[in-house]
Amino acid sequence: MIPIPTSLLDLATYGLKSGSAEVVGALFTVTSTPHHREAFVFSLPTLAIEIADECSGIRSSIALILTTLLVADQFLKTTTWRLALVAAALPFAILKNGIRIATLTLLSPHVDPSFLTGQPAS
Protein backbone atom coordinates (compact mmCIF):
# COMPACT_ATOMS: atom_id res chain seq x y z
CA MET A 1 0.00 0.00 0.00
CA ILE A 2 1.31 3.40 -0.99
CA PRO A 3 -0.08 6.45 0.79
CA ILE A 4 -2.15 8.78 -1.35
CA PRO A 5 -0.07 11.84 -2.27
CA THR A 6 -1.04 14.89 -0.20
CA SER A 7 -1.73 17.05 -3.25
CA LEU A 8 -4.14 14.44 -4.65
CA LEU A 9 -5.81 13.99 -1.26
CA ASP A 10 -6.21 17.79 -0.91
CA LEU A 11 -7.76 18.00 -4.37
CA ALA A 12 -10.20 15.18 -3.60
CA THR A 13 -11.08 16.75 -0.24
CA TYR A 14 -11.78 20.10 -1.88
CA GLY A 15 -13.97 18.44 -4.53
CA LEU A 16 -15.95 16.55 -1.89
CA LYS A 17 -16.36 19.70 0.22
CA SER A 18 -17.55 21.68 -2.80
CA GLY A 19 -20.03 19.02 -3.87
CA SER A 20 -21.27 18.53 -0.32
CA ALA A 21 -21.76 22.29 0.11
CA GLU A 22 -23.90 22.35 -3.04
CA VAL A 23 -26.02 19.45 -1.75
CA VAL A 24 -26.39 21.08 1.68
CA GLY A 25 -27.47 24.36 0.09
CA ALA A 26 -30.01 22.55 -2.08
CA LEU A 27 -31.37 20.60 0.90
CA PHE A 28 -31.72 23.78 2.96
CA THR A 29 -33.61 25.35 0.07
CA VAL A 30 -35.87 22.32 -0.39
CA THR A 31 -36.63 22.20 3.36
CA SER A 32 -37.27 25.98 3.40
CA THR A 33 -34.48 26.46 5.94
CA PRO A 34 -33.41 30.11 5.89
CA HIS A 35 -29.67 30.25 5.28
CA HIS A 36 -26.90 32.37 3.86
CA ARG A 37 -23.89 30.75 2.24
CA GLU A 38 -20.37 32.09 1.84
CA ALA A 39 -18.09 29.44 0.33
CA PHE A 40 -18.15 26.59 2.89
CA VAL A 41 -19.88 28.54 5.68
CA PHE A 42 -23.65 28.35 6.14
CA SER A 43 -25.31 30.85 8.46
CA LEU A 44 -28.69 29.84 9.79
CA PRO A 45 -30.83 31.92 12.15
CA THR A 46 -29.58 30.11 15.27
CA LEU A 47 -26.14 28.87 14.26
CA ALA A 48 -23.40 28.88 11.67
CA ILE A 49 -21.57 25.84 10.34
CA GLU A 50 -18.46 25.45 8.26
CA ILE A 51 -17.82 22.42 6.11
CA ALA A 52 -14.26 21.76 7.20
CA ASP A 53 -11.78 19.34 5.66
CA GLU A 54 -12.69 16.86 8.42
CA CYS A 55 -16.32 16.99 7.24
CA SER A 56 -15.49 16.29 3.60
CA GLY A 57 -16.21 12.58 3.92
CA ILE A 58 -12.88 11.68 2.33
CA ARG A 59 -12.33 8.56 4.44
CA SER A 60 -15.77 7.07 3.80
CA SER A 61 -15.51 8.06 0.13
CA ILE A 62 -12.20 6.21 -0.20
CA ALA A 63 -13.83 3.16 1.39
CA LEU A 64 -16.78 3.43 -1.01
CA ILE A 65 -14.50 3.71 -4.06
CA LEU A 66 -12.34 0.76 -2.94
CA THR A 67 -15.44 -1.36 -2.34
CA THR A 68 -16.80 -0.32 -5.75
CA LEU A 69 -13.50 -1.29 -7.37
CA LEU A 70 -13.67 -4.74 -5.77
CA VAL A 71 -17.29 -5.25 -6.82
CA ALA A 72 -16.55 -4.06 -10.36
CA ASP A 73 -13.59 -6.42 -10.65
CA GLN A 74 -15.57 -9.41 -9.38
CA PHE A 75 -18.85 -8.92 -11.19
CA LEU A 76 -18.31 -6.89 -14.34
CA LYS A 77 -16.65 -8.19 -17.47
CA THR A 78 -15.56 -5.12 -19.40
CA THR A 79 -13.38 -2.19 -18.40
CA THR A 80 -16.02 0.22 -19.68
CA TRP A 81 -18.64 -1.09 -17.24
CA ARG A 82 -16.11 -1.17 -14.42
CA LEU A 83 -15.20 2.48 -15.00
CA ALA A 84 -18.86 3.41 -15.29
CA LEU A 85 -19.62 1.81 -11.92
CA VAL A 86 -16.72 3.59 -10.20
CA ALA A 87 -17.73 6.90 -11.81
CA ALA A 88 -21.31 6.37 -10.60
CA ALA A 89 -20.09 5.91 -7.02
CA LEU A 90 -18.64 9.43 -6.84
CA PRO A 91 -21.97 11.32 -6.95
CA PHE A 92 -23.33 8.98 -4.29
CA ALA A 93 -20.38 9.80 -2.02
CA ILE A 94 -21.10 13.52 -2.40
CA LEU A 95 -24.86 13.12 -1.97
CA LYS A 96 -24.43 10.95 1.13
CA ASN A 97 -22.09 13.46 2.73
CA GLY A 98 -24.33 16.43 1.95
CA ILE A 99 -27.34 14.65 3.43
CA ARG A 100 -25.32 13.82 6.56
CA ILE A 101 -24.19 17.43 7.06
CA ALA A 102 -27.66 18.90 6.45
CA THR A 103 -29.32 16.36 8.73
CA LEU A 104 -26.92 16.98 11.62
CA THR A 105 -27.24 20.73 11.16
CA LEU A 106 -31.04 20.60 11.21
CA LEU A 107 -31.15 18.21 14.18
CA SER A 108 -28.79 20.30 16.29
CA PRO A 109 -31.06 23.25 17.17
CA HIS A 110 -34.22 21.13 17.36
CA VAL A 111 -33.04 18.03 19.19
CA ASP A 112 -29.56 18.30 20.73
CA PRO A 113 -26.66 20.69 20.01
CA SER A 114 -24.18 17.86 20.57
CA PHE A 115 -25.06 16.52 17.10
CA LEU A 116 -22.61 19.11 15.74
CA THR A 117 -19.91 18.93 18.39
CA GLY A 118 -19.96 15.29 19.36
CA GLN A 119 -19.79 16.38 22.99
CA PRO A 120 -22.78 15.68 25.22
CA ALA A 121 -24.63 18.80 26.34
CA SER A 122 -23.99 19.61 29.97
How many structural domains are present in the chain? 1
**Residue 106, helix vs strand vs coil:** helix
More confident residue, 67 or 121: 67
Contact 102, 93 (CB under 8 A): no
Q: State yes or no: pLDDT of 122 exceeds 60.
A: no
**In-domain check, residue 63:** yes
Q: State yes or no: pLDDT of 1 exceeds 90.
A: no
**In-domain check, residue 120:** no
Average pLDDT for the chain = 90
Domain range for 87: 6-110
pTM: 0.85
Dist. CA 106–CA 120, nearest whole Å: 17
Dist. CA 73–CA 81, nearest whole Å: 10
**In-domain check, residue 117:** no
- The string of pLDDT tens digits covering residues 89-103 is 999 999 999 999 999
**In-domain check, residue 49:** yes
- The string of pLDDT tens digits covering residues 17-40 is 999 999 999 999 999 999 999 999
